[in-house]
Structure 1
Amino acid sequence: MILQKILHTAGKFPDKTALQYGRRSYTYAELITEIQTRAGAYQAGISQATVILAQTEALENLLDLLACMALKKAVLFASSQLTSDQIEGLRQREKAYLLEQTWPKSEESIRAEIQPTTLTDRFLGVLTSGTESVPKVIWKDYQSWVTAFPHQSDVFGITADDRLLVLDALSYSANLNSVLHLLWQGGTIVLTSLKSAGSWVQQMQDERITSVFMVPSHYRLWARSGVSLPLLRSLVSAGEKLEKSLAETLLQVSPQALLTEYYGAAELGHISYQQNEEILQHQFSVGKAFPGVRIHIVDQRIRVESPYVSPDYRGINTVFDLGLMDDDRLVLMGRAGRMFNRRGLNIFAEEIENRAKELRFVQEVAVVGLLREDLSHEIYLVFSATYPGQNSVPYTRQLKDHLLQSLPPAKQPRRIFEWRNLPRKDHGKIDYQAIVRTLADEDSPEILALPA
């Protein structure tokens, strides 16, 4: 399991750096001592089986997670976007202990032994996004993550020699998965923050980073012409579609790297992946099945047979995403919750977005539906643009003309807006709910461009 592997690395390479975050760092030997010391303190004072981690510093939450794992407790990361009422609702519903600050250490602190675990032990709850009600929890057991780790190492090209740069938004389960995987592997984690994005390239050079995990929006913040990072050997992207132009830039920036885009879901784990030239050649695909996964299309719904499915979804094996198989490659037709109805016609947001992305100036695009009283949707498109040069025709007009030529009338957006930046959740994914809220407020000053 995870802690046993960390303990093994600490025995063989005690002085190797395990974690680094700003000026704080832990060798593997120091990390084990910290885990056992915290676990000893929490063992005496926390009787609940579930703990909500709500410290302000990401490294503290990560250390608390490892300490709780040592005690066979399950944890929930309180995202910075959760309200106090949502956290309190979670605490009551899950009968959880709210851990908001580290207990002070003393010389009398007792180091707890790391308790043995099994594949079916639940250790992590992933929170779904929500704005009003208490978020839903998707529970992970060790099977759903640890059985994928050897394949992640092989597919992503990651070894114990790697130094991984990953964002400190650990409530996003893909970031946390990357961290725990590399600690399991015996590598070095370098946590960074979004506010330091302007210095990421320098940080990668100074810290001799060889591997990066980010969502596409965060790769865009540093991957550009003129940047050269020859030490990078593995780049992994997830969470949103990795567009061809960004993939080309990443491969130019790091010509020795293996670039992997993977598709998955919190409920189902890793589903498919594609790499390097495959990403460039198959723009609308999300690749072939991840090792150990079998993909089936049933009534256009994606179903998987996989050991990585979260325990409460075994037997369901779908999150109702829609897709089709092109030879052995999966093509997403629509993500769950992003299919809209217009006068009886089902419209997929991805189809419209993919058409918009055919124009090189479209950097990011989001299609949303505002529900009408008759339960049909008004479709809106919001995009941000790159500015390669002087343009004589407004981008909104160019985009509208392109969609008029490439989509039937029933699938045309009612209005198109150009925004400087699309709103995001703290883990970097586009916040579609924020877009809907903005568009629903007709007097909102955030709508800066004239409608097309």
Structure 2
Amino acid sequence: MFSLFPALAGGSVADRSALRFGDRSLTYAELAASAGALAARLDGAGRVAVWATPTLETAVGVVAALLAGVPAVPLNPKSGAAELGHILGDSTPSLVLAAPGDLLPTALGALERIDVEATTKTAAGAGAHAGEETEAGTEVVVTVEAAVRDPGAPALVVYTSGTTGPPKGAVIPRRAVAATLDALADAWQWTGDDVLVHGLPLFHVHGLIIGILGPLRRGGSVRHLGRFSAEGVARELNAGATMLFGVPTMYHRLAEALDGDPGLAEALGRARLLVSGSAALPLHDHERITAATGRGVVERYGMTETLMNTSVRADGEVRPGTVGVPLPGVGLRLVEEDGTTIAGYEADGTPTGAYDGESVGEIQVRGPNLFTEYLNRPDATAAAYTADGWFRTGDMAVLDPDGSVRIVGRKATDLIKSGGYKIGAGEIENALLEHPGVREAAAAGEPDADLGERVVAWIVPVDPQAPPSADELADHVASRLAPHKRPRRVRFLDELPRNDMGKILKRALPRD
């Protein structure tokens, strides 16, 4: 039988803490009982929506759906009415799972609602194991996954960010969840002894699949902060947590807090692994964290449609600006606009082509980590794949001489064609962030009659009253990269527009 959560079948980890949110927690036996009881109610329900607040109930609801073999559709509680209506109309869930007392928007009012009970005791007593007899003589039955679980069966429908149109529902099969989590276990030396702490939202791949389902597949523990804070991170790492997952915004806040908090530096130094994802971590934050803690931040690269593609390995060198090498089983290649392959990796890790650190191409991937389809969008699904079966990520990268993948931006918004050169916006942003007067930076191309496109930068200065000049910033980039990569225009802002995951919304940057 194909099982996502073998630890829920009982055994030696039944009394181990599986999930903790604030002061509420569930052991594996308690999670199996709570999720198992709910799974029995979901049998045959079709797709189910999950009101994905950062709570124990969300985790139990998703696990229950997976145990029942019912695809879960995580809903962002911050979604606007139009976006939420689109997702509900597209995914047509039969019911919604929510924590008792949650006030749901009107759009969900027509759906049957099931309140998720995250019971911290099994039906016959906390800590009981599957098959044990209680004092009352009643057997504690821990529901495990139904035997029908085809690895290709849908596990979740996760909606994309919708930056280029209405969000699309990526159908994530069970094999993709298992393949990604097992590949990360290899890359990160992740075991059941690890205790993960994070404060990420639970409606996307990073927070839910990697951050909640990952520890549960390993038989380990996760402590969710509810709301991210440096104090919460330090508390959990000092209390035995071994891994921290976050996005660049979170690590930036940690880096800012380190200057006046030696206790935080000591706590971060205790972590076995610090992992950042969802966007590039700026170089100066890398440097500040490493200098203060002696611990480098590992970066990885993934998407909703592909889960995780690459990562720096736990036993590898942390090199700021790179996202490591492909995970086991993942094939990756860089492709020119005309379809010519520059270089890449076979699924078994065999390198192909020359890694020159300069040639920019689109990342294309294939492997068991990929989604099945965009729900109700056969046209979009077909367009996402090449004729020979590779998924077009839309991300542009180079392969450094050591084989590491270095992402330089999105094909649609971050590939700048200026004066005959192909320039990745990401490398310009990293260079700008090395300037001591720059707090945040974004770069993109704008039409130019002479160059085709000119490089433009948006800057949030460290001191708004005395920002660095545009010429100073242009010279700074030219000295670190090349003269043709310098910004021809610089705009100063109080802040950069970002989404919930901290990614810069370049289409929302002011232009004139």
Classify the TM-score, shorter chain: 0.7 to 0.9
CA deviation after TM superposition for structure 1 residue 432, in Å: 3.2
Match of 1:448 in 2: none
CA contact (8 A) 1:178 1:213 kept: yes
2:443 aligned residue (367, 376, 379): 367
Change (3 A) 1:276 1:380: farther
CA distance in 1, matches of 2:429, 2:48: 40
- 2:221 aligns to what? 188
Question: CA–CA distance in 2 between the matches of 1:422 and 1:368?
Answer: 13
128, 138, 146: which one pairs with 1:115? 146
- 1:108-147 matches, cutoff 5 A: 114-116=145-147, 117-130=149-162, 134-147=166-179
Inter-partner Cα distance in structure 1 for 2:202 and 2:453: 34
Q: In structure 1, what is the equivalent of residue 490 of structure 2?
A: 415
Alpha-carbon offset, residue 284 of structure 1:
4.0
Partner of 2:308: 270
Q: CA deviation at 1:93?
A: 1.9
Displacement of 1:20: 0.4
Report matched runs for 1:347-358 at 5 Å: 347-358=423-434
Note if contact 1:123-1:140 (Cα within 8 Å) is conserved in structure 2. yes
Deviations 1:141-181 (A, max 9, x none): 12212123233123213221111011240123112223211
| Count of matched residue pairs | 425
Query: Structure 1 CA distance, aligned partners of 2:115 and 2:243?
Result: 35
Letter in 1 for 2:287: E
**Contact 2:286/2:296, CA 8 A, preserved across alignment:** no
Residues 284-303 of structure 1: pairs in structure 2 closer than 5 A: 284-299=321-336, 300-303=361-364
| Deviation sequence 1:391-415 (CA, Å, 0-9, x none) | 9773666324424666556863433
2:197 alignment counterpart: 165
Do the aligned partners of 1:165 and 1:212 also contact (CA within 8 Å) in 2?
yes
Instruction: State which drifts further: 197-206 or 58-67.
Output: 197-206
Provide the C-alpha distance between the structure 2 equivalents of 1:414 and 1:90, rounded to a whole number of angstroms.
Answer: 39
CA distance in 2: counterparts of 1:214 and 1:267, whole angstroms: 20
Deviations 1:190-209 (A, max 9, x none): 01134x41422442245321
Query: Would you say the 8 A contact 1:53–1:64 is kept in 2?
Result: yes
SS of residue matched to 1:148:
helix
Unaligned runs of 5+ in 1: 443-452
Per the normalisation by structure 2, the TM-score is: 0.72
Inter-partner Cα distance in structure 2 for 1:248 and 1:105: 43
- Displacement of 1:79 in angstroms is 1.7
Give deviations 1:414-436, integer Å, cap 9, x for gaps: 332142x4343223333334x43
What residue number does 1:245 align with?
A: 284
- Counterpart of 2:21, as a letter, is Y
Cα 1:220–1:200, aligned 2, differ >3 Å: closer, same or farther?
Answer: farther
Separation in 2, partners of 1:274, 1:13: 29
Q: TM-score, normalised by structure 1?
A: 0.81
Q: 1:197 to 1:377 in 2, by over 3 A?
A: farther
Change (3 A) 1:22 1:277: closer
Do residues 77 (structure 1) and 152 (structure 2) align? no
| 2:17 alignment partner in structure 1 | 17
- Tell me, in whole angstroms, the C-alpha distance in 1 between the residues paired with 2:498 and 2:82: 22
TM-superposed CA distance for 1:266, in Å, is 2.4
3-state SS of 2:215 partner: helix
> 2:393 aligns to what SS in structure 1?
coil
2:250 equivalent to 1:218 = yes
Report deviation, 1:186.
0.9
**Could you tell me how far apart the structure 1 residues matched to 2:460 and 2:467 are?**
16
Deviation at 1:56, TM superposition (A): 4.0
1:129 counterpart letter in structure 2 = S
Structure 1 match to 2:410:
335
| Cα distance change on mapping 1:393 and 1:16 into 2, 3 Å | closer
Cα deviation, residue 39, structure 1 = 1.9
Distance 2:49 2:222 in 1: 23
**Overall identity of the aligned pairs, in %:** 23
SS of the equivalent of 2:11 reads helix
Residues 341, 297 of structure 1: CA spacing in aligned structure 2 closer, same or farther, 3 A cutoff? closer
For 2:468, which of 394, 404, 408 is the aligned residue?
394
Query: Structure 1's 133 and 358: CA in aligned 2 closer, same or farther, altered over 3 A?
Result: closer
Whichever residue aligns with residue 350 of structure 1, its letter is G
Distance 1:393 1:386 in 2: 7
Report what 2:181 is aligned to. 149
* Counterpart Cα distance in 1 of 2:75 and 2:419: 40
Q: How far apart in 2 are the matches of 1:276 and 1:155?
A: 6
CA distance in structure 2 between the aligned counterparts of 1:55 and 1:391, rounded to whole angstroms: 41
Structure-2 separation of matches of 1:136 and 1:383: 32
Residue 273 of structure 2 is aligned with which of 219, 234, 237? 234
Q: Are residues 1:42 and 2:42 paired?
A: yes
Bigger Cα displacement from structure 2, 259-268 vs 184-193: 259-268
Counterpart secondary structure, 2:253: coil
Q: Distance in 2 between matches of 1:239 and 1:127?
A: 15
Following TM superposition, by how much is the alpha carbon of 1:248 offset from its aligned partner in structure 2, in angstroms?
3.3
- Which residue number corresponds to residue 134 of structure 2? none
Partner Cα distance (2:181, 2:52) in 1: 27
* 1:20-47 deviations in Å (ceiling 9; x for gaps): 001211011100011012223334xxx6
Q: Secondary structure at the match of 2:392?
A: coil
